[in-house]
Amino acid sequence: MEITAVESVVRGDAHFAAVHTSTGLVGVGQSACWGYPGAVHAVVEAFRPHLLGADPSRIEHHWHHLYRMGPFRGSVLTAAVSAIDLALWDLLGKRLGVPVWQLLGGRVRDRIRLHLLLPGSGAQDLAAQAAAAVADGFTAVKFDPLPANYGDLSLARLVTETEATTAAVRDAVGPDVDLIIELHRKLTPLQAEAMIPAVGRLHPLMVEDAIQIDSVSSQAEVTRRALGVPMANGERLHTIWEFKELLAQGGAQYVRPDLGLAGGISHARKIAALAESYHAAVVSHNCLGPLLTMASVHLDTAIPNFVTQEYSPLDDLLADGPARACVRREGGFLPIPEEPGLGVTLDLTDETPLDLTGRPLTHIPHRADGSIAYAV
């Protein structure tokens, strides 16, 4: 078997890849650098001369060749590597007639626990969505409790309102449901130091990404100062080397690699093993539809330190879309896929643009004085 074609397509803010072979088998993948899908596509185009005619089963070899071709690093490169890596794992599973998790050492669990991303804002809206999610069978929910005008509030008002929103969600779901608090990198380190203990009194499973991702050391420092509140980081990190620095500096009890950004299955399983050595758990980042959900599920199935899988309402909306999974959600869980490969059928003939993120890239918050709210 050899690779005969590498297909790369951009559909709105979604980027997919398909690797075709001489036997007719096709492996499919997706990247997660949703801000710059065209750039990821260009990198995959640059990969093509290496991949054509190559043996698709040499997955680790191809990973390192693609990652080391040029002296450049970053999310665009690792996203492109991720898309190809997922496609190669999909191919190998199809070639051998087994699901990918079987190739990773077999399953260590019988189903995959999900936590639902709540799209709402404000105490009343989020509390109602959380209650509905629990009624639907979810045992964990994730939400952003920060006020919409967070950048212009006094510290006291910011902390008080955020804590009140979190409390409303806790009251709505009770003590038997885990809360995951997503702060979306909106705070300064000093704001985070005040915020984390306040929401921590509601006993969240984790508090995620309190500050910007510019510095691994700063992220680790915020975690060290969290006074026992479990912290999560890593959805915008790309490699085991970054995760190693984060963990070695005392940051993150939960690591959040995205399989469409952090090097695909090949690299994410190394990140999971690295986290295991620090007694840290894996909660992979995932919000871009069924293909990346299924890739994450194969990793979740095979690693011991998995806790819960991020699940977006988008997965239900796109269940019959271009990327169709072989399993469907059952309440707050996904069954273990049994189809060969990733268990995803990808139709690239539909050219309808996808909107996976819900906002134009240029639409980001500004403070009342006109400055960029994310620049903290």
Task: Please identify every residue annotated as catalytic.
Answer: 184, 285
Give the torsion sign (CA, 255, 256, 260, 262). Answer: negative
Q: Strand, coil or helix: what is 257?
A: coil
Angle of CA points 289, 290, 293, to nearest 5°: 95
Count other C-beta atoms under 10 Å from residue 365's C-beta. 14
Question: Contact 307/109 with Cβ under 8 angstroms?
Answer: no
Question: Contact 145/162 with Cβ under 8 angstroms?
Answer: yes
The conformation of residue 153, written as its DSSP 8-state character, comes to S
Cα separation of 109 and 120, whole Å? Answer: 32
Give the torsion sign (CA, 16, 20, 24, 27). Answer: negative
Q: Which residue has the tokens 């006109």?
A: 370
Report which of 210, 236, 217 is spatially closest to residue 150, judged by C-alpha positions: 210
Q: Strand, coil or helix: what is 229?
A: coil
